[in-house]
Each structure stands twice: as structure tokens, then as C-alpha cells.
């Protein structure tokens, strides 16, 4: 396999806040660029100054992934390799869902923390 150059992998999330009411369903967009033919996508939740908390992963090559138990009921994502997107859907919004959400593309770190996206 040819080596992938730093900078070929990129994740894009809309910069604006998403405003919604309790009980609503919201979708947080995530699109990506990669030369990897089997991309793996990860979603994290960060509240305040706490460390980011793993929500779920989506693996292209098996069309599988893992969702942490506490998020299984209301959080979901579909990895679309053609559209290069992996939006996060949160149902029945609760006040505790208010946080910063990060979409990450593997490999998130390739030898240098500066190459993390």
C-alpha cells in the first residue's frame, strides 16, 4: 500500500452551535476527506473541561462499529463512504446532551500529535 501523506486526511464539522429543545431530535454533521478506502469514524462528547468521552465508532469495511452502552438508546450514526459523511443523530434530547461533539477519522494520530484531526 502506498504511504498516505500527512494532510490527506481531514474532518469537517459545521462551526456553528446547534440549538434545539428538550425532546427534539438533532443531527450533527460530519464530512471527511481521506485516501483510506476503508475509513473508520469516531464520535466523542466533551463537557466543559472534562476529557472527551467516546460515544461510538463506525467501521466501513465491516459496516459495523461499537456504541457505548450509555449512548445506545438515543445516539446513532451511519457511515456513508460515497458521500464521505458520518452524521451523529441524537434523539429525545436531554439537557445533559449539551456539550461539544467531535467527529474523528482514523488514524487520529500518526506519529505526531500535530497530525491529529
pLDDT tens-digit readout, 75-87: 999 999 889 999 9
In a domain, 53, yes or no: yes
In a domain, 36, yes or no: yes
In a domain, 74, yes or no: yes
Average pLDDT over residues 101-106: 90
- Residue with the three cell numbers 428538550: 22
For 26-71, the pLDDT digits (tens) are: 999 999 998 888 889 999 999 999 999 999 999 876 668 899 999 9
pLDDT above 50 (res 111): no
Q: How many domains does the chain have?
A: 1
In a domain, 24, yes or no: yes
For 1-31, the pLDDT digits (tens) are: 555 555 578 999 998 899 999 999 999 999 9
In a domain, 7, yes or no: no
Mean pLDDT of all residues belonging to the chain: 85
Domain containing residue 36 = 20-104
In a domain, 116, yes or no: no
In a domain, 45, yes or no: yes
In a domain, 70, yes or no: yes
For residues 65-96, b (16+ Cβ closer than 10 Å) or e, as one string?
bebeeebeeebbbebebeebbbbbebeebeee
CATH number for the domain harbouring residue 99:
2.60.40.10
Amino acid at each position: 500500500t502506498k504511504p498516505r501523506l500527512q494532510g490527506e486526511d481531514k474532518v469537517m464539522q459545521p462551526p456553528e452551535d446547534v440549538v434545539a429543545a428538550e425532546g427534539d431530535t438533532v443531527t450533527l454533521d460530519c464530512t471527511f476527506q481521506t485516501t483510506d478506502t476503508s475509513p473508520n469514524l469516531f464520535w466523542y462528547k466533551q463537557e466543559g473541561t472534562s476529557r472527551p468521552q467516546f460515544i461510538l465508532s463506525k467501521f466501513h469495511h465491516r459496516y459495523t462499529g461499537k456504541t457505548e452502552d450509555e449512548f445506545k438508546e438515543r445516539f446513532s450514526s451511519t457511515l456513508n463512504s460515497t458521500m464521505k459523511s458520518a452524521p451523529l443523530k441524537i434523539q429525545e434530547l436531554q439537557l445533559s446532551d449539551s456539550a461539544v461533539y467531535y467527529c474523528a477519522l482514523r488514524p487520529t494520530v500518526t506519529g505526531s500529535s500535530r497530525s491529529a484531526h
